[in-house]
Amino acid sequence: MGFRTDQIHAGVTPDPVTGAILTPIHQSTTFVQDSVDEYMSKGYSYARGGNPTVRAFEKKIATLEGGADATAYGSGMAATVAVMLALLEAGDHVVIADVVYGGTYRFADQFLRKFGVEVDFVDASDLDAVRASIRPNTRLVFTETPANPTLKITDLAAVSEITREAGVYHVTDNTFLTPYFQRPFELGCDIVVHSTTKYLDGHNATLGGAVVVNDPELHEKIAFARISAGLVMSPMVAWLTLQGVKTLSERMERQSANAMEIATWLEGHPKVERVGYPGLPSFPGHELARKQARGFGAMVWFEVTGGVEAGKKLMDSVRLWSLAENLGAVESIITHPVTMTHAAVPPEERARAGITDGLVRLSVGMEDVEDLIADLDQALSQI
C-alpha cells in the first residue's frame, strides 16, 4: 500500500461488534480472562502490559516506518529512556550526537552517568569523529537528524555502516521529518525513536512517544523495559494520535512549503544575520538532506541583528506565532531554545554545538504563509 493509504488504514479495522469506523477507546485497567489455563488468550491482561487502542497505533507507526513492530509511550523522552534501559548497563559506553533534544542530553548526562554508563557527545556529522569515538564497550550510537535546534544533518547511512562494522546499535530520532519524509530503516538504522507529541499528533493535543524496530528479539527487550518501568501510552492519547496521523502527509507537505518560503524571506531580510533551513542551498547540510530525505521539514532557525536582546524583543512582539516549547503542530510556534527546550544543556556545551543565545527556532504551521511572514515582518520592524 502507498503511504497515504497506510496512514489512514494500517493497524485499524472497523469494530467487529458495532462496525464503528474508528478504533474504540479501550479505557480499561484490566482485562477479564476466560480461565487460568487460557490466561492472555485474547492478548491482554493489564493496561501496563498492553491495550487494544494503543496496539492499533503501534501497528500503524510500525507500518509507516517500514519496521517489524513498535511500542508506544507516555512521551518521547519515555521512548528514549526505554531504549536506554533495555540496551545499557553499568560499564557500557554510549555515543550521542552533540546536538539533540535537550531532554535527551539531560537524561544521558545526569542519569546514565549516575548509573555507571559512560557517555560521549560527538559531532555525528563528522564520520571520523563517530568512528573514533566507538570503544570495545560501546553499545549504541544515538543520532537525531535534522537535529534540534540547529538542524544539523547526519549521514544516517554512513553512521549505520560504522555501527554495523562495530557491532553496535544505531538509534535515530526521526521526530522532525517523520517516516513521510525520511526512512531510517532504509538507511541502515536499527531503532527509530519518535516524540509522537510533534508531527504524528500534529494538533498540540497529546504527549506521547514511540520506538520502532526491525528485530523481534530487540522489540521484546524494549517492550520488557517499558512494562517494567511503566512508561506506557494512554488509550486516549493513542486514539487521538491515530486520528492525527491520518493527515500527516498533507500537513508535512503544507508546513514544509511554508517553511521554505519563510526561510527564503528571512534570508533576504536586512535585520536577520543568519538563517538555518535544510531546504536552503546555503545550508551546510543541504545536499545530504536532499539525498537521504524526500523533504526538508518545517523547522527553521535564525538570528537577528542586535543579538539576544533583539531576539527576545522579536519573540515578545509576534502576534500570530505562539511563544511556546512544542513543535510540529498545525499552529506556528516560536521558541528560544537556550531558555526553553535546551536550558538543561550547560552553556559551554551549547556553544560547542552551535546553539547560540540569540538563536530563534520556528516550528512552521499550516496558516497562510503571507500572514506568518507579515507577523514576523512587523515584529522585526520593532527591533
Active site residue: 44, 55, 73, 101, which one? 101
Q: Establish whether 198 is a catalytic residue.
A: yes
Other C-beta atoms within 10 Å of 214: how many? Answer: 17
In the set 48, 106, 274, 352, the catalytic residue is 48
Rg, the chain, Cα only: 21
Q: Which three cell numbers stand for residue 104?
A: 535527551
- d(CA 173, CA 80) in angstroms, rounded, equals 9
**Annotated catalytic residue within 173, 190, 201, 375:** 173
Label residue 3 exposed, middle or buried (CB < 10 Å: 0-12, 13-18, 19+): middle
Beta-carbon contacts of residue 34 (< 8 Å; ≥ 6 apart): 41, 42
Write down the catalytic residue from 183, 198, 251, 350.
198
DSSP 88: -
Strand, coil or helix: what is 284? coil
CB atoms closer than 10 angstroms to residue 31? 17
The helix-helix angle for 369-380 and 248-267 (nearest 10°) equals 40
DSSP one-letter string for 153-209? ---HHHHHHHHHHHT-EEEEE-TTTHHHHB-GGGGT-SEEEEETTTTTT-SS----E
Between CA 115 and CA 85 the distance in angstroms is 11
HSE-up of residue 168 (Cα within 13 Å, Cβ side): 25
Side chain identity at residue 288, one-letter code = L
Residue corresponding to grid cell 540496551: 87
Q: Is 125 left (phi over 0), alpha (psi -120 to 50) or beta?
A: alpha
173 is catalytic: yes
Please identify every residue annotated as catalytic.
48, 101, 173, 198
